[in-house]
């Protein structure tokens, strides 16, 4: 800022003049265009980087049980679980099923859907684990799974999860089951969209954007601030020691 040299000296106590340098509209348009072009030319790198940040590192190994991520029912997850079981990674399969609101009874529709997908995938016998649908859903469900696993004396699990959800699943189960001394391994399942092709459809963009936002929500808020509170709360409301159901 610079005071005008033509103004009387006493006026500086009340008013002053300044000079501003502003960019032209041509510069602003050109700058935005440059950013858009740079993003377009490098999309092959940053789109893959975003997608990879959502995927856990596959580290499946022989375990006591396979845990099927069933929050967003996906047949391919059941199919991959069948492959792991037949390959000898584990003989026991756990499938979380949400309970009816305010009860410890599993939701009939969710249970039926899981049973149909398991049947088509030729999965065989599975243990259903009742889980509460209480926010934050994934964290509370993980505690319900933890109670079941501790009761059944299971010491290691392979979490089979949809590709773009797998990193969040690994973080949540690592913070709950892992903290309790249970070995947690991750097995991401690729669907119709890959890390390099998700931008080819609007639905793919929606899926990745949603999972990215949820990952940040859990990473930056839920796990740092809600984890301790939920540890106390979940001890007071376990989904009915209803235990497990056995389905074919």
Question: 103 Cβ partners below 8 Å, 6+ apart?
Answer: 240
Closest CA to 185 of 51, 71, 66, 79: 66
Q: Residue 210 has what pLDDT?
A: 96
Token pair 């396979």 in the structure block, residue: 66
How far is 214 from 33, CA to CA, in rounded Å? 30
Write down the pTM of the prediction. 0.79
Contact present, 84 and 158 (Cβ < 8 Å): yes
Contact present, 154 and 241 (Cβ < 8 Å): no
How far is 81 from 187, CA to CA, in rounded Å? 9
Angle between the 227-234 and 137-151 helix axes, to the nearest 10 degrees? 50
Contact present, 90 and 158 (Cβ < 8 Å): yes
Question: CB count, 10 Å around CB of 136?
Answer: 18
How far is 75 from 117, CA to CA, in rounded Å? 6
199-to-45, 56, 213 alpha-carbon distances in Å: 12, 20, 16
Sorted by where each begins, the domain ranges of the chain are 52-247
Cα 193 off chain centre by: 16
- CA triple 90-94-84, angle to 5 deg: 35
Closest CA to 239 of 131, 148, 111: 131
E strand or H helix that includes residue 220? none
Q: How many residues in the chain? A: 248
Q: Say which DSSP state 232 is in.
A: H
Contact present, 17 and 8 (Cβ < 8 Å): no
What is the CATH architecture assignment of 52-247? 3-Layer(aba) Sandwich (3.40)
Token pair 């949820």 in the structure block, residue: 214
The residue ranges of the chain whose pLDDT is under 70 are 1-8, 12-13, 16, 228-248
Radius of gyration over every alpha carbon of the chain, rounded to an integer in angstroms: 26
Contact present, 71 and 116 (Cβ < 8 Å): no
Q: Residue 241 has what pLDDT?
A: 44
């Amino acid at each position: 800022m610079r005071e005008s040299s033509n103004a009387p000296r006493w006026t500086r106590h009340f008013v002053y003049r300044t000079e501003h340098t502003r960019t032209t509209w041509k510069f602003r348009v050109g700058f935005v265009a440059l950013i858009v072009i740079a993003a377009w030319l490098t999309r092959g790198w940053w789109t893959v980087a975003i997608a990879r940040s959502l995927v856990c590192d596959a580290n499946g190994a022989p375990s006591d049980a396979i845990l099927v991520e069933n929050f967003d029912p996906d047949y391919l997850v059941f199919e991959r679980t069948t492959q792991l079981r037949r390959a000898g990674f584990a003989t026991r399969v756990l499938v979380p099923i949400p309970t009816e609101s305010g009860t410890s009874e599993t939701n009939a529709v969710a249970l039926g859907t899981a049973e149909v997908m398991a049947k088509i995938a030729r999965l065989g016998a599975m243990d259903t684990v009742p889980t509460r649908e209480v926010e934050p859903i994934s964290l509370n469900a993980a505690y319900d799974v933890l109670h079941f696993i501790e009761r059944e004396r299971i010491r290691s699990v392979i979490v089979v999860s949809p590709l773009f959800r797998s990193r969040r699943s690994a973080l949540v189960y690592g913070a709950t089951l892992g903290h309790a001394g249970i070995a947690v391994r991750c097995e991401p399942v690729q669907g119709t969209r890959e890390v390099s092709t998700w931008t080819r459809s609007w639905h793919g963009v929606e899926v990745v954007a949603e999972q990215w936002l949820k990952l940040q929500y859990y990473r930056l808020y839920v796990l740092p601030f809600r984890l301790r509170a939920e540890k106390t709360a979940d001890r007071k409301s376990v989904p009915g020691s209803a235990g497990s159901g056995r389905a074919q």
